[in-house]
């Protein structure tokens, strides 16, 4: 096979760690836009000192995510900036934690789950999600104005939904919400993050053992009776689904509400036409792209990408927020325009690891936004916008709290 030769381009100093500091709550760091324009694949210095790549354009990010020559195996990745739960030299993924695996292991796990997350299966949950949403809005009304939208609405709804789906007692929420917070906090020490992960794993393993003895009508029990997976594997899947299932959607609901309150013309359009919500949710996903660190992929062989050669073993970080603001793919990408077609955005990733829970997240958001804005026609921020606490210190971006009044 012919050896791939790099094209000659002027050397540019590597970016030192993935930039995540923002000057606007809704816009990705400006430096990412500059990189996308000048050099959509740039050298990136990882915190462990290794040299890899940072991809900021839509076509290159999508190409990497679809390319089997780029691996998701955990032990090959490097964190693009310090993340508490990422070791400098990580070991292989724990059983069941399939987001850190390649085929055929990844396929074996994912195959057990896809039928439980189809559009049809998620539609069946719609009524239940609508009821859960209404109950939380009732509680928020009883609480009275002002209230913290994250505590009353954005966090509990996806938490309760994923608990019911998995069969995790919601009464244990303080435990798993706390562990998840510690795990995803960029300021946690490695020991703290690992402690939280081990504690989540033990908790869910105990639950799997109990359900083996006393099955119920839930996903964990179904996986047990399927017979293809052992308790360790099911516990690993449950950890992944529990973390991914509540933190992400919660932040889209919180940050999405903040964004709509700051774009009154867009909010008015949504209020005037609740059917717009399907489109609006895709646009909010694109515009806000809360997965702001990573994902990463490691090259399994030398690969030519955008005029550069990524050498075997080098790690590539895909900036999803930058890719989703690529003017080559989306017209006026800096505008929040609920009427545009934002389909094809990368907020849920792309390729074989594309978000398993995306249909569930969509239903939670469509139901959540419409119910919230119809229940509280005068919903407004209860603090100055500058005082909203942003999650630049977390692995998933969003708002820590959102004080609202009505």
Q: Figure out which of the listed residues 98, 203, 258, 373 binds ligand HEM, where binding follows CB under 6 A.
A: 98
**Distance of closest approach, residue 41 Cβ to ligand HEM, in angstroms:** 18
Interface of this chain with ligand HEM, residues 348 to 387, rule: CB under 6 A: 348-349, 353, 355-357, 360-361
Q: Figure out which of the listed residues 57, 112, 221, 248 binds ligand HEM, where binding follows CB under 6 A.
A: 248
Spatial distance between the Cα atoms of 259 and 369, rounded to a whole number of angstroms:
12
One symbol per residue from 149 to 178: x for binding ligand HEM (CB under 6 A), - otherwise; what is it? -------------x----------------
- With a CB cutoff of 8 Å and minimum separation 6, the contacts of 303 are 4, 67, 69, 70, 309, 310
Spatial distance between the Cα atoms of 159 and 52, rounded to a whole number of angstroms:
36
- With a CB cutoff of 8 Å and minimum separation 6, the contacts of 373 are 260, 267, 270, 271, 379
**Distance of closest approach, residue 337 Cβ to ligand HEM, in angstroms:** 19
With CB under 6 A as the contact rule, which of the stretches 201-209, 248-256, 263-271, 377-385 interacts with ligand HEM?
A: 248-256
Residue 81: Cβ within 10 Å count: 18
| DSSP summary character for residue 103 | T
What is each CA distance from 150 to 121, 155, 213, 380, in whole angstroms?
A: 27, 5, 36, 14
- With a CB cutoff of 8 Å and minimum separation 6, the contacts of 396 are 184, 247, 248, 251, 290, 291, 292
Q: Figure out which of the listed residues 122, 347, 371, 388 binds ligand HEM, where binding follows CB under 6 A.
A: 347
One symbol per residue from 47 to 86: x for binding ligand HEM (CB under 6 A), - otherwise; what is it? -------------------------x--------------
Spatial distance between the Cα atoms of 277 and 187, rounded to a whole number of angstroms:
36
Extended beta strands in 34-185, E state: 41-45, 51-55, 70-71, 147-148
**Distance of closest approach, residue 374 Cβ to ligand HEM, in angstroms:** 21
Q: Figure out which of the listed residues 291, 336, 342, 394 binds ligand HEM, where binding follows CB under 6 A.
A: 291
Binding residue count for ligand HEM, defined by CB under 6 A? 24
Nearer to ligand HEM, 144 or 329 (CB): 329
Q: Figure out which of the listed residues 95, 245, 256, 333 binds ligand HEM, where binding follows CB under 6 A.
A: 245
Nearer to ligand HEM, 34 or 169 (CB): 169
Q: Figure out which of the listed residues 252, 276, 284, 371 binds ligand HEM, where binding follows CB under 6 A.
A: 252
Cβ(41)–Cβ(60) below 8 Å: yes
Cβ(256)–Cβ(369) below 8 Å: yes
Q: Figure out which of the listed residues 63, 150, 157, 244 binds ligand HEM, where binding follows CB under 6 A.
A: 244
Q: Figure out which of the listed residues 42, 57, 249, 370 binds ligand HEM, where binding follows CB under 6 A.
A: 249
Q: Which residues pair with 310 in a beta bridge?
A: 303
**Distance of closest approach, residue 23 Cβ to ligand HEM, in angstroms:** 22
**Distance of closest approach, residue 97 Cβ to ligand HEM, in angstroms:** 9
Count of residues in the chain: 406
Backbone region of residue 264 per phi and psi (left: phi > 0; alpha: psi in -120 to 50; beta: other values): alpha
Binding site for ligand HEM (CB under 6 A): 72, 98-99, 110, 162, 240-241, 244-245, 248-249, 252, 290-291, 295, 347-349, 353, 355-357, 360-361
């Amino acid at each position: 096979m012919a050896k791939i030769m790099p094209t000659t381009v002027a050397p540019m100093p590597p970016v030192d760690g993935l930039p995540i500091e923002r000057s606007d709550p809704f816009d990705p760091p400006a430096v990412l836009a500059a990189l996308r324009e000048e050099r959509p694949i740039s050298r990136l210095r990882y915190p462990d000192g290794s040299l890899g790549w940072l991809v900021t354009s839509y076509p290159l990010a999508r190409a990497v995510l679809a390319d089997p020559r780029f691996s998701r195996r955990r032990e090959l990745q490097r964190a693009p900036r310090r993340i508490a739960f990422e070791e400098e030299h990580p070991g292989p993924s724990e059983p069941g934690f399939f987001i850190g695996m390649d085929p055929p292991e990844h396929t074996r796990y994912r195959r057990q789950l896809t039928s439980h997350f189809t559009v049809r299966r998620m539609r069946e949950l719609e009524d239940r999600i609508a009821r859960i949403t209404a109950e939380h809005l009732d509680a928020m009304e009883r609480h009275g104005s002002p209230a913290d939208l994250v505590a009353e609405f954005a966090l509990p709804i996806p938490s309760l939904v994923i608990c019911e789906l998995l069969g995790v007692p919601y009464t244990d929420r303080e435990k798993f919400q706390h562990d998840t917070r510690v795990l995803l906090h960029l300021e946690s020490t490695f020991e703290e993050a690992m402690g939280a992960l081990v504690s989540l794993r033990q908790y869910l393993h105990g639950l799997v053992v109990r359900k083996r003895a006393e099955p119920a009508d839930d996903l964990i029990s179904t996986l047990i009776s399927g017979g293809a997976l052992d308790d360790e594997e099911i516990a690993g899947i449950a950890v992944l689904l529990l973390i991914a299932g509540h933190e992400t959607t919660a932040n889209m609901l919180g940050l999405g509400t903040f964004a709509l309150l700051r774009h009154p013309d867009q909010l008015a359009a949504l209020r005037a036409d609740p059917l717009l919500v399907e489109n609006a949710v895709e646009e909010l996903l694109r515009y806000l792209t809360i997965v702001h660190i990573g994902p990463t992929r490691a090259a399994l062989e030398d690969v030519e990408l955008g005029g550069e050669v990524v050498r075997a073993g080098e790690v590539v970080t895909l900036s999803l927020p930058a890719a989703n603001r690529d003017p080559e793919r989306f017209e006026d990408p800096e505008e929040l325009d609920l009427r545009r077609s934002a389909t094809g955005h990368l907020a849920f990733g792309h390729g074989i690891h594309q978000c398993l829970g995306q249909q569930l997240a969509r239903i939670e958001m469509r139901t959540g936004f419409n119910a919230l804005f119809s229940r509280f026609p005068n919903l407004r921020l209860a603090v100055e916008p500058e005082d909203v606490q942003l999650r630049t210190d977390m692995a998933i971006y969003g708002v820590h709290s959102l004080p609202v009044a009505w």
